[in-house]
Amino acid sequence: ESDKASMLEVTKNIWDGNDYLPYVWDEWLADTEGELCVAEIGDRMVGLGKLSHLGWGNWWMEGMRVQPEYQGRGISSQLHEYLHNFWLEHGNGFVRLTTSSKRLPIHHLCERFGFSKINERSFFVASLLLDNTAEALPFQLLTSPELPDALDFLQNSPTLRFSCGLIDLGWRYAVPRLEYLQKLLDDGRLWWWQERKGLLGFWEDDDED
């Protein structure tokens, strides 16, 4: 807990000061299934990284940060190696991560540890189009008894192959599981579209824009 101030210093300029780590730090500290680690030089935190357990067989590396003035000294490599070795000892299934297509040093680091690139993603933003003549929106909230049907629909969707069989859990990606859909349902964020012709779920975005 005493590292929080240092974490805020490390992340203050990430994404123009909009890094998500300050919002999940306490949650990460309380995580008993994953691993949160920091790199220090003397008494100063200069980097950090997180390994999260998303469910059986699904592990995720995230939150890799290094102070700009200490980049290029191999700190990311040491953090990555530590978390990778933790997964080898305690994990199962697959460990994955995402990074920008421009961060070539991270690409080379992942290749050195045996990771394989499986997918590229682009993000687009558009205004919501509504049919003002329709009597009701073409979406219906799911009910708990429908969850197995929703999972079956998702697993057999032809669009799933475009993401290598993984679904978006909010900047994390994993093989579809009932527990992920249950979380969306509990939050009121899972709908059928046009009488089960489609399935829509979304994770909360704190960006009001």
Q: Report the range of poorest mean pLDDT among 105-119, 133-147, 150-164, 183-197.
A: 133-147
Rounded to whole angstroms, how far apart are CA atoms 153 and 159?
11
Amino acid at 6: S
Label residue 209 by pLDDT band (50, 70, 90). Answer: very low
pLDDT digits (tens, 9 = 90+) for 86-140: 999 999 999 999 999 998 989 999 999 999 999 898 888 888 777 666 666 789 9
Q: How many residues does the chain have?
A: 209
CA torsion sign for 128, 132, 133, 138 is positive
Residue ranges in 19-146 assigned as alpha helix (H): 21-30, 75-90, 104-112
pLDDT digits (tens, 9 = 90+) for 32-77: 999 999 999 998 899 999 999 999 999 999 999 999 999 989 999 9
Give how far Cα 146 sits from Cα of 5, 92, 167, Å. 45, 29, 19
Rounded to whole angstroms, how far apart are CA atoms 17 and 12?
5
151-184 burial: b if 16+ Cβ within 10 Å, else e: bebbeeeeeeeeeeebbebeebbbbbbeebbeeb
What lies within 8 Å, CB to CB, of 54 at 6+ separation is: 60, 169, 172, 174
Rounded to whole angstroms, how far apart are CA atoms 137 and 156?
25
The pTM of the full predicted model, rounded to 2 decimals, is 0.84
